Amino acid sequence: MGNCLKSNISPSNKDVRNSLPIGTVFKLPSPLPTWPAGGEFGSGVIDLGGLQVRQLSSFKKVWAAYAGGPGNLGATFFEPSSIPDGFSMLGSYAQPNNQPLFGWVLVGKTDAADQSGDILKQPTDYNLVWANNSTQDPAYFWLPTSPDGYKPVGHVITTSPDKPSLDKIRCVRADFTDEPETDNWIWAGAAESSGNGLNVYGLRPKSRGTNAQPLSVGTFIIQNTTTGDGKSDLSLSCLKNTNSSLSTSPNLRQVEALFQTYSPYIYFHPKEIYLPSSVNWYFSNGVLLYKNGQESSPLLSTLMARTSLREVRTMARTGSTPVDEQAKEKVKKGDLQSAEAYLHVKPILGATFTDIQVWLFYPFNGHAVLKLGVIDEVPLGKIGEHVGDWEHVTLRISNFDGVLYKVYFAEHSGGKWVDSCLLEFQTGNKFVGYSSLNGHATYHQAGLFLQGASRHWDKKRHCQE
């Protein structure tokens, strides 16, 4: 009946437990404004085509481990609390202890369109997938056994070996589910994730492109791989939005209000000389844009007529600096006063979230910098230099309530998502980003960041906006 673990993962030192970051519930620095009216954005409930879901961030702690996982600080497991009348639990929530509590999980109910009331059903049984048999702090993790034609989307956790009530959770009809994949690593019995053994991960849809229907439930999955090949089938599913309407996405006035609330401050390195500009300034200062063989017919008028951000980005990236050396240096240094942010707004995760990409244009990307031991900076000649440098950050905002949950910081050819609870904020709910010297990659913290195989480095400090 499942797998058990006997280990000391719950230290007796209460001071250690109480001092962990997860003991603090993160909230944005300032209350959110009332969003402009229109559509169903910010209404708190999203209709997936007969299945209504609500995003809850109020939790009841069920069990915690205080070792293993990120930072070897353990993880805490919760179930949603204060579930509204008519809604049912779909799964539990888990988070590493190394950051403040900041997350959500969906609860669901069928609406009037589901006259048969069969989109959600109770499980027929439970399977024990893992247990901690500590006499002081036991825990049991259960996988619901779904009826035919249904799938589970979350686990149930108990502190008793008795199976949970069948009324505790609901399974979802298969046509409202989709294929998942593992997301961030949450916990294991060790300080590092392993291809074999017990691991706990977040769960996200495998299909996540623009207008993709699948969406996250906010739950976690337990993988207990003991076969030696490091492979384990995923026992849970994600949800799918069968409603083709985008009425839950923000309209233009709402997007403007969101950006006014969360628009970032970007700081440059004190030695930065290649600053951003507007695209119009760039092409109004002698930059050449033409097709091969048609040098006498510049495409500037064509660019100014473009309405697609993708087309503008492509054309600005392929421009050529002026032939005159003085004019060339002027263009390369940009013009901060003319700089503009270019926004690309799109629905994501079944229209339960909105991504706002914030693009800045830099006329020139400077050379890379190498750090050698105590030597501060070694320029790498022309390595990394190019004309037309676009950099961006992406804000991921909940369509349930307009909360900013995470930000993607683009770092050259890569980048990473950072939860809002780990961001630096300034002036209300506006977060801070740091642009690297010459290359303009954006980070959520100031400092030194190695790029590639320890070849060169990015350096950021407070400077100017």
pLDDT digits (tens, 9 = 90+) for 397-416: 999 999 999 999 998 677 99
What does the alpha-carbon distance between residue 412 and residue 108 come to, in Å, rounded to a whole number? 40
Identify whether the C-beta of residue 282 lies closer than 8 Å to the C-beta of residue 332. Answer: no
Which percentage of the chain shows pLDDT scores above 70?
75
Identify whether the C-beta of residue 364 lies closer than 8 Å to the C-beta of residue 274. Answer: yes
The residues pairing with 96 across neighbouring beta strands, listed in sequence order, are 75
Residue with tokens 């209460």: 14
Identify whether the C-beta of residue 338 lies closer than 8 Å to the C-beta of residue 194. Answer: no
pLDDT of residue 439: 79
Q: Give the number of residues written for the chain.
A: 465
Look at residues 168, 188, 286 and name the one whose alpha carbon lies nearest to residue 232.
188
Rounded mean pLDDT of 51-79?
96
Measured CA distances, 147 to 31, 118, 126, 141, 215 (Å): 43, 11, 11, 19, 22
For 268, what's the count of Cα atoms within 13 Å in the CB-facing half-sphere? 15
Higher pLDDT, 15 or 197: 197
pLDDT of residue 12: 47
pLDDT of residue 6: 43
Is the pLDDT at 215 greater than 50? The verdict is yes
Q: Residue 450: pLDDT band by 50, 70, 90 thresholds?
A: low
Measured CA distances, 379 to 242, 277, 331 (Å): 54, 24, 21
Which percentage of the chain shows pLDDT scores above 90?
60
Identify whether the C-beta of residue 155 lies closer than 8 Å to the C-beta of residue 220. Answer: yes
What does the alpha-carbon distance between residue 392 and residue 356 come to, in Å, rounded to a whole number? 10
Query: Which run of H or E residues covers position 306?
Result: none
For 285, residues 6+ apart whose C-beta sits below 8 A from its C-beta are 322, 327, 330, 331
Higher pLDDT, 382 or 197: 197
Q: Residue 290: pLDDT band by 50, 70, 90 thresholds?
A: low
pLDDT of residue 316: 53
Rounded mean pLDDT of 5-12?
48
pLDDT of residue 461: 40
pLDDT of residue 129: 94
Look at residues 407, 442, 29, 449 and name the one whose alpha carbon lies nearest to residue 266.
442
What does the alpha-carbon distance between residue 456 and residue 437 come to, in Å, rounded to a whole number? 11
DSSP one-letter code for 235: -
Measured torsion, CA atoms of residues 417, 421, 422, 428, in degrees rounded to the nearest 10:
110
Tokens of 170: 């609901």
Burial (CB count <10 Å: 0-12, 13-18, 19+), residue 141: buried
pLDDT of residue 230: 46
SS3 state of residue 61: strand
The residues pairing with 100 across neighbouring beta strands, listed in sequence order, are none
DSSP one-letter code for 159: S
pLDDT of residue 94: 98
Q: Residue 209: pLDDT band by 50, 70, 90 thresholds?
A: confident
pLDDT of residue 300: 52
Rounded mean pLDDT of 205-234?
80
| pLDDT tens per residue, range 297-355 | 555 544 544 545 565 555 455 555 555 677 778 888 889 999 999 999 999 999 999 99
Which among 11-15, 102-106, 283-287 has the top mean pLDDT? 102-106
Rounded mean pLDDT of 164-183?
97
- Beta strands in 98-230, from DSSP E residues, in sequence order: 105-110, 120-121, 125-132, 139-145, 150-151, 156-158, 171-173, 177-178, 180-188, 197-205, 214-215, 220-225
Is the pLDDT at 19 greater than 90? The verdict is no
pLDDT of residue 7: 44
pLDDT of residue 280: 85
For 131, residues 6+ apart whose C-beta sits below 8 A from its C-beta are 2, 3, 4, 5, 138, 139, 140, 141, 161
DSSP one-letter code for 254: H
What does the alpha-carbon distance between residue 406 and residue 425 come to, in Å, rounded to a whole number? 13
Helix and strand counts by DSSP (H, E) for the chain: 6, 32
Radius of gyration of the chain from its Cα atoms, rounded to whole angstroms = 25
What does the alpha-carbon distance between residue 75 and residue 69 come to, in Å, rounded to a whole number? 7
Q: Residue 374: pLDDT band by 50, 70, 90 thresholds?
A: low
Average pLDDT score, the chain: 84
Is the pLDDT at 78 greater than 60? The verdict is yes
Strand pairing category for 4-5 and 125-132: parallel
